[in-house]
Amino acid sequence: MGGGASASGHEHGQIVDFISDDEMMFSAERSGGLPIKAMVEVIKKTGLDQFNHLVRKKAGLQSLCHTTDLREVEERIEAGDSEAALVFDALALGIAKTLAALAVSVDGPIDRVCLTGGMAYSKALCQKVADKTAFIGPFKAYPGEFELEALALGGLRVVNKEEDYHVLEFTAEG
Protein backbone atom coordinates (compact mmCIF):
# COMPACT_ATOMS: atom_id res chain seq x y z
CA MET A 1 0.00 0.00 0.00
CA GLY A 2 1.61 3.17 -1.22
CA GLY A 3 1.03 5.39 -4.24
CA GLY A 4 -1.06 2.52 -5.55
CA ALA A 5 -2.37 -0.54 -3.78
CA SER A 6 -3.07 -3.96 -5.23
CA ALA A 7 -4.09 -7.14 -3.45
CA SER A 8 -3.85 -10.84 -4.12
CA GLY A 9 -5.19 -14.04 -2.65
CA HIS A 10 -2.79 -16.97 -2.36
CA GLU A 11 -3.35 -20.67 -1.97
CA HIS A 12 -0.54 -23.21 -1.57
CA GLY A 13 2.00 -20.59 -2.69
CA GLN A 14 0.10 -19.65 -5.86
CA ILE A 15 -1.87 -16.50 -6.61
CA VAL A 16 -5.51 -17.52 -7.08
CA ASP A 17 -6.99 -14.03 -7.44
CA PHE A 18 -5.73 -10.48 -7.89
CA ILE A 19 -7.23 -7.01 -7.55
CA SER A 20 -5.26 -4.29 -9.32
CA ASP A 21 -4.65 -0.80 -8.00
CA ASP A 22 -7.51 0.67 -10.00
CA GLU A 23 -10.31 -1.79 -9.21
CA MET A 24 -11.51 -1.30 -5.63
CA MET A 25 -9.65 0.54 -2.88
CA PHE A 26 -8.18 4.01 -3.25
CA SER A 27 -4.63 4.75 -2.15
CA ALA A 28 -2.24 7.68 -1.87
CA GLU A 29 -2.51 8.55 -5.59
CA ARG A 30 -5.08 6.17 -7.11
CA SER A 31 -8.81 6.67 -7.28
CA GLY A 32 -9.77 3.05 -6.81
CA GLY A 33 -12.88 1.72 -8.52
CA LEU A 34 -15.06 4.19 -10.37
CA PRO A 35 -18.50 3.89 -11.96
CA ILE A 36 -18.14 3.32 -15.71
CA LYS A 37 -20.84 5.80 -16.77
CA ALA A 38 -19.22 8.64 -14.81
CA MET A 39 -15.77 7.67 -16.13
CA VAL A 40 -16.98 7.91 -19.73
CA GLU A 41 -18.35 11.39 -19.11
CA VAL A 42 -15.09 12.59 -17.55
CA ILE A 43 -13.04 11.08 -20.40
CA LYS A 44 -15.24 12.92 -22.92
CA LYS A 45 -14.47 16.21 -21.15
CA THR A 46 -10.79 15.72 -20.30
CA GLY A 47 -9.48 13.23 -22.85
CA LEU A 48 -8.03 9.83 -22.06
CA ASP A 49 -4.49 10.98 -21.17
CA GLN A 50 -5.72 13.59 -18.69
CA PHE A 51 -8.22 11.15 -17.21
CA ASN A 52 -5.49 8.54 -16.73
CA HIS A 53 -3.28 11.15 -15.04
CA LEU A 54 -6.14 12.19 -12.76
CA VAL A 55 -7.08 8.71 -11.56
CA ARG A 56 -3.51 7.35 -11.27
CA LYS A 57 -1.54 10.36 -9.95
CA LYS A 58 -3.95 12.99 -8.62
CA ALA A 59 -6.65 10.94 -6.89
CA GLY A 60 -6.94 9.13 -3.56
CA LEU A 61 -5.33 10.85 -0.59
CA GLN A 62 -3.78 13.37 -3.00
CA SER A 63 -7.17 14.71 -4.07
CA LEU A 64 -8.98 14.23 -0.77
CA CYS A 65 -6.31 15.55 1.63
CA HIS A 66 -3.86 17.29 -0.75
CA THR A 67 -1.03 15.01 0.34
CA THR A 68 0.18 11.49 -0.42
CA ASP A 69 1.74 11.16 3.02
CA LEU A 70 -0.44 9.15 5.39
CA ARG A 71 1.59 10.42 8.36
CA GLU A 72 0.43 13.94 7.54
CA VAL A 73 -3.19 12.75 7.43
CA GLU A 74 -2.72 11.16 10.86
CA GLU A 75 -1.23 14.41 12.22
CA ARG A 76 -4.29 16.29 10.96
CA ILE A 77 -6.55 13.78 12.69
CA GLU A 78 -4.65 14.28 15.96
CA ALA A 79 -5.15 18.04 15.52
CA GLY A 80 -8.91 17.52 15.24
CA ASP A 81 -9.43 17.50 11.45
CA SER A 82 -12.70 15.59 11.03
CA GLU A 83 -12.42 15.47 7.22
CA ALA A 84 -9.01 13.80 7.47
CA ALA A 85 -10.52 11.30 9.93
CA LEU A 86 -13.33 10.54 7.49
CA VAL A 87 -10.84 9.93 4.65
CA PHE A 88 -8.72 7.74 6.94
CA ASP A 89 -11.76 5.65 7.87
CA ALA A 90 -12.74 5.37 4.19
CA LEU A 91 -9.22 4.23 3.32
CA ALA A 92 -9.36 1.48 5.98
CA LEU A 93 -12.83 0.43 4.86
CA GLY A 94 -11.75 0.23 1.21
CA ILE A 95 -8.77 -1.93 2.09
CA ALA A 96 -10.93 -4.21 4.25
CA LYS A 97 -13.57 -4.56 1.52
CA THR A 98 -10.87 -5.49 -0.98
CA LEU A 99 -9.46 -8.14 1.36
CA ALA A 100 -12.94 -9.54 2.01
CA ALA A 101 -13.57 -9.78 -1.74
CA LEU A 102 -10.37 -11.80 -2.16
CA ALA A 103 -11.17 -14.12 0.73
CA VAL A 104 -13.97 -15.82 -1.21
CA SER A 105 -11.48 -16.88 -3.91
CA VAL A 106 -9.50 -19.05 -1.50
CA ASP A 107 -10.83 -22.52 -0.81
CA GLY A 108 -10.76 -23.10 2.92
CA PRO A 109 -9.70 -21.06 5.92
CA ILE A 110 -7.40 -18.07 5.50
CA ASP A 111 -4.01 -18.54 7.18
CA ARG A 112 -3.17 -14.85 7.38
CA VAL A 113 -4.27 -11.42 6.14
CA CYS A 114 -1.12 -9.40 5.38
CA LEU A 115 -0.55 -5.73 4.62
CA THR A 116 2.68 -4.44 3.10
CA GLY A 117 4.03 -1.17 1.78
CA GLY A 118 4.62 2.25 3.23
CA MET A 119 1.10 2.66 4.61
CA ALA A 120 1.59 -0.51 6.66
CA TYR A 121 3.83 1.59 8.94
CA SER A 122 0.62 3.20 10.21
CA LYS A 123 -0.36 1.24 13.31
CA ALA A 124 -3.72 3.02 13.38
CA LEU A 125 -4.56 2.06 9.78
CA CYS A 126 -3.44 -1.52 10.31
CA GLN A 127 -5.52 -1.78 13.49
CA LYS A 128 -8.64 -0.49 11.72
CA VAL A 129 -8.14 -2.95 8.87
CA ALA A 130 -7.40 -5.79 11.30
CA ASP A 131 -10.58 -5.02 13.25
CA LYS A 132 -12.68 -5.02 10.07
CA THR A 133 -11.14 -8.23 8.70
CA ALA A 134 -10.89 -10.25 11.93
CA PHE A 135 -13.61 -12.60 10.68
CA ILE A 136 -11.41 -13.55 7.69
CA GLY A 137 -8.35 -14.69 9.59
CA PRO A 138 -5.34 -13.57 11.65
CA PHE A 139 -3.71 -10.29 10.64
CA LYS A 140 -0.06 -9.28 10.18
CA ALA A 141 1.52 -6.06 8.91
CA TYR A 142 4.84 -6.11 7.06
CA PRO A 143 5.76 -2.42 6.72
CA GLY A 144 7.92 -1.40 3.79
CA GLU A 145 8.28 -2.35 0.18
CA PHE A 146 9.60 -5.73 -0.85
CA GLU A 147 8.91 -5.78 -4.60
CA LEU A 148 12.56 -5.79 -5.69
CA GLU A 149 13.50 -8.47 -3.18
CA ALA A 150 10.56 -10.62 -4.31
CA LEU A 151 11.54 -10.24 -7.98
CA ALA A 152 15.16 -11.09 -7.22
CA LEU A 153 14.21 -14.15 -5.16
CA GLY A 154 11.83 -15.29 -7.90
CA GLY A 155 14.61 -14.98 -10.47
CA LEU A 156 16.93 -16.94 -8.20
CA ARG A 157 14.37 -19.76 -7.88
CA VAL A 158 14.17 -19.98 -11.68
CA VAL A 159 17.98 -19.98 -12.05
CA ASN A 160 18.24 -22.71 -9.39
CA LYS A 161 15.54 -24.69 -11.23
CA GLU A 162 13.29 -24.63 -8.16
CA GLU A 163 10.51 -22.98 -10.14
CA ASP A 164 9.54 -22.61 -13.79
CA TYR A 165 9.22 -19.20 -15.38
CA HIS A 166 6.09 -18.07 -17.16
CA VAL A 167 5.89 -15.92 -20.27
CA LEU A 168 2.79 -13.78 -20.59
CA GLU A 169 1.91 -12.93 -24.16
CA PHE A 170 -0.48 -10.15 -24.97
CA THR A 171 -2.32 -9.79 -28.26
CA ALA A 172 -4.37 -6.99 -29.74
CA GLU A 173 -7.47 -8.96 -28.72
CA GLY A 174 -6.42 -8.91 -25.06
- Closest to 73 in 3D by CA, of 62, 82, 84, 83: 84
Residue pLDDT, tens place only, 15-61: 889 898 888 889 989 999 999 999 999 999 999 999 999 999 999 99
Distance (Å, whole) CA 57 – CA 30: 6
- Tell me, yes or no, whether 168 lies in a domain: no
Distance (Å, whole) CA 9 – CA 98: 10
Residue pLDDT, tens place only, 129-157: 999 999 999 999 988 876 677 778 778 88
Residue pLDDT, tens place only, 41-52: 999 999 999 999
The predicted pLDDT at position 147 comes to 66
Q: Which residues contact 145 (CB under 8 A, 6 or more apart)?
A: 2, 116, 117, 118
- Tell me, yes or no, whether 22 lies in a domain: yes
The predicted pLDDT at position 3 comes to 76
- Tell me, yes or no, whether 120 lies in a domain: yes
**H helix intervals, 58-146:** 61-65, 70-78, 82-103, 123-133
Residue pLDDT, tens place only, 102-126: 999 988 889 889 888 889 999 999 9
The maximal CA–CA distance of the chain, rounded, in angstroms, is 55
Strands (E), the chain: 7-11, 14-19, 113-117, 139-143
Q: Vertex 143, ends 31 and 95: CA angle to 5°?
A: 35
- Tell me, yes or no, whether 170 lies in a domain: no
Task: Give residue 98's Cα distance to chain centre.
Answer: 8
The predicted pLDDT at position 66 comes to 96
What is the number of structural domains in the chain?
1
- Tell me, yes or no, whether 152 lies in a domain: yes
Q: Which residues contact 6 (CB under 8 A, 6 or more apart)?
A: 18, 19, 20, 21
- Tell me, yes or no, whether 49 lies in a domain: yes
Distance (Å, whole) CA 161 – CA 25: 37
Is-contact 117 1, C-beta < 8 A?
yes
Domain housing 113: 7-160
Residue 53 belongs to a domain with what CATH number?
A: 3.30.420.40
- Tell me, yes or no, whether 96 lies in a domain: yes
- Tell me, yes or no, whether 83 lies in a domain: yes
